[in-house]
Structure formats: C-alpha cells, structure tokens
C-alpha cells in the first residue's frame, strides 16, 4: 500500500484564485508531422482543440485553470531556476485542468471529466459541458468515461448535485484505483485532510453504481484504448494508450504537473502525490518510453491544448509542444 502523509492529498485552501478559460474553440487538422492548425468556435465559455488521430478524433477540453503555488513542488533552488528560465513567477505555476474526448464512427468516449462544481482548486471550473457542446456532443451522447484516477479535478465533472452527468455512460476505472478509494481500512488510516477526497471519490463511484467497470493493468477499456498502471501520484493512477491504427498517442494524465519543472527535474515530488518517490519512478519510465518511441502525448496539466512530445535530454527530458501549422 502506498503511503499517505500530511503533505499529500492536500485541500485547495492554499491555492490562488484561478483564471477563466478562454472563449472560442478550434477544429484543426493534424498534419503528417503532427502539426495542428487552429479554427474558430462560438460557444461561450468553451476552450477546445480537436484533431484526427488515425481512426479516432481527439478533442482537448479545458475545464479551467489553476495557478498552483510554488510550494506544491518539492525541491530547492533548482526548481526556482527552472521556473525563472521559463518566465514563470514563484507565486503561480499555471496548471490547466483538461479532459479529452475520443470519437470514432461508433463510440463517444471521455477521458476524465474535470473539476465540475467542485472548488478544491478554487472557483472558475465546470467548463467541460460548454466544450462538449461546442464539439457537438451532449452529455447523454457519451457512452464511456475513462477515469485515469479519482482526484476531484478528474472526477468532479462526473456528477452534478449528486447525480450522474453522463446518464448513458459506462465508467471505466483501474482496478487498483477503485479498490484504493473504496477501502474502508485505508481510508481510516488516512489523515483528516484526506478524508473528503476519499468521501468524494466514493460518492462519484456510487452515483454510477452498476455501470462501473474495473480495468486490470494492460487491458482495454474500449477497442484501441488501453489502460496502463503508472502508480505514485495515486496508488492506481493510469495512463491511457490510444491506438488509432496509423497513429498513436499516450494520455499521460498526472504523470507531470508542470511540463517545465517535471521534464527538467523528473524526480521532483508534487504535493498531491500519494508516494512522490514512486511517482518519480513512474514518470521516468513513461518519459523513457515515449521518448524512445517518439510518441505523441497529451496531459491533463500540460500547457493547453496539451499535445506534444517528450524528448530525452541528458539525464533529464524536454517537452516540445506539437507544432501549430
């Protein structure tokens, strides 16, 4: 069992107010070199970006922005130096909260659901529904939601006033992750500030009842979508490999929380990690894999829209956004 302590699973009380998501959207095409071209949208409050991915179409949906404080990143002067080099002030480290819509000829699948009504990271979230509307998708059109892990900024948008937002959707979640958040003995050992996170995860899972499928490590949640265990941020944190046939992408979820900090300093822990050392080991493993395979990645907290590549650079790595064409 991964350890829990009072530096982990924090509440959002120390966070600064979030900034609003931008209005407008995009429906670009992805070029052979994975470059992307912008378009226009008109749905108020929506921020989205869409591109073909082999037999799928993938759309990044911005639920909101949270400027995390410098204190969430464990480390000394080296962290400050990376932030300064990136032009990021110590008081606010921009962190998009993104979800990803996967569409094919017969499936409409959402990977994570943003914060929704929850204010764990402050106000200004809940823009996922507007993004879906701008993409021409109603909540009832979604037939599956893949949950990478059960933190509120990934499952908060699954319920509204206690009821399921996606009335026709199956919920796919990693077996280890579901078992962790619903284990009464583990919850009893967790610090007091972690109790609301357990309670909320249980509320979300209960809302979907018998429509929950627990996915074992390395199994498909749906054809072309494989869930892979990548523990440390949470004990059952998963990444999702999306295979569109002639093009693949790895949705790395919370493998990193800052594309600047966590590529330059992959061993730096983060305040919401249940096991920072294990999270760092998973981070290096994922980074090594995508760098070797030259695989396109998407991330929940990478600079929106969150598509790019991670390249090996000496003992560390470098993030390169996908090229806008």
pLDDT tens, residue order, the chain (325 aa): 333 433 344 333 222 222 222 233 333 333 333 333 333 345 777 899 999 999 999 999 999 988 788 889 998 899 999 999 988 877 778 789 999 999 999 999 999 999 988 777 666 788 999 999 999 999 999 999 999 999 999 999 999 999 999 999 999 999 999 999 999 999 999 999 999 999 999 999 999 999 999 999 999 999 999 999 999 999 999 999 999 999 999 999 999 999 999 999 999 999 999 999 999 999 999 999 999 999 999 999 999 999 999 999 999 999 999 865 4
DSSP state letter for 294: T
For the chain, how big is the Rg over CA atoms in Å?
18
- The three-point CA angle 265-270-272 to 5° equals 160
Task: Tell me which architecture the domain covering 48-321 has in CATH.
Answer: 4-Layer Sandwich (3.60)
Q: What are phi and psi of 177, to 5 degrees?
A: -65, -45
* Stated pTM of the model: 0.87
pLDDT at 42: 53
- Could you tell me the two tokens for 126? 């809940």
Q: Which tokens is 171 given?
A: 């919920």
| Consecutive H or E run containing 207 | helix 195-208
pLDDT score of 21: 29
Torsion angle (degrees, nearest 10) of CA 231, 203, 103, 30: -50
Decide: 240 and 228 in contact? Cβ < 8 Å: yes
Q: Pairing between strand 108-111 and 238-243?
A: unpaired
151: Cα within 13 Å, side-chain hemisphere: 26
User: In this structure, are residues 296 and 241 in contact, taking their beta carbons and an 8 Å threshold?
Assistant: no
């Amino acid at each position: 069992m991964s350890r829990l302590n009072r530096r982990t699973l924090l509440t959002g009380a120390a966070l600064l107010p979030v900034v609003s998501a931008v209005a407008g959207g995009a429906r670009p095409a992805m070029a052979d070199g994975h470059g992307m071209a912008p378009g226009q949208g008109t749905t108020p409050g929506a921020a989205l970006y869409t591109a073909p991915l082999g037999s799928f179409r993938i759309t990044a949906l911005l639920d909101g922005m949270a400027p995390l404080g410098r204190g969430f990143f464990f480390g000394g002067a080296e962290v400050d130096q990376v932030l300064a080099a990136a032009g990021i002030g110590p008081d606010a480290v921009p962190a998009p909260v993104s979800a990803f819509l996967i569409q094919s000829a017969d499936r409409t699948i959402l990977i994570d659901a943003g914060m929704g009504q929850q204010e764990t990271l402050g106000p200004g979230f809940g823009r996922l529904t507007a993004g879906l509307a701008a993409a021409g998708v109603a909540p009832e059109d979604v037939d599956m939601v893949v949950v990478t892990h059960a933190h509120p900024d990934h499952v908060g948008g699954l319920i509204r006033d206690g009821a399921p937002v996606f009335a026709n959707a199956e919920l796919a979640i990693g077996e280890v992750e579901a078992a962790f958040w619903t284990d009464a003995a583990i919850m009893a050992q967790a610090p007091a500030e972690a109790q609301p996170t357990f309670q909320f995860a249980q509320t979300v899972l209960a809302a979907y009842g018998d429509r929950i499928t627990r996915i074992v490590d390395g199994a498909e949640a749906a054809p072309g979508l494989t869930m892979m265990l990548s523990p440390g941020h949470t004990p059952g944190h998963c990444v999702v490999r999306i295979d569109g046939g002639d093009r693949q992408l790895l949705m790395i979820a919370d493998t990193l929380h800052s594309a600047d900090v966590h590529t330059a300093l992959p061993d730096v822990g983060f305040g919401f990690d249940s096991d920072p050392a294990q999270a760092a080991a998973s981070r290096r493993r994922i980074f090594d894999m995508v760098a070797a395979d030259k695989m396109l990645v998407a991330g929940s907290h990478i600079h929106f829209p969150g598509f790019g590549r991670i390249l090996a650079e000496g003992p560390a790595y470098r993030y390169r956004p996908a090229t806008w064409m």
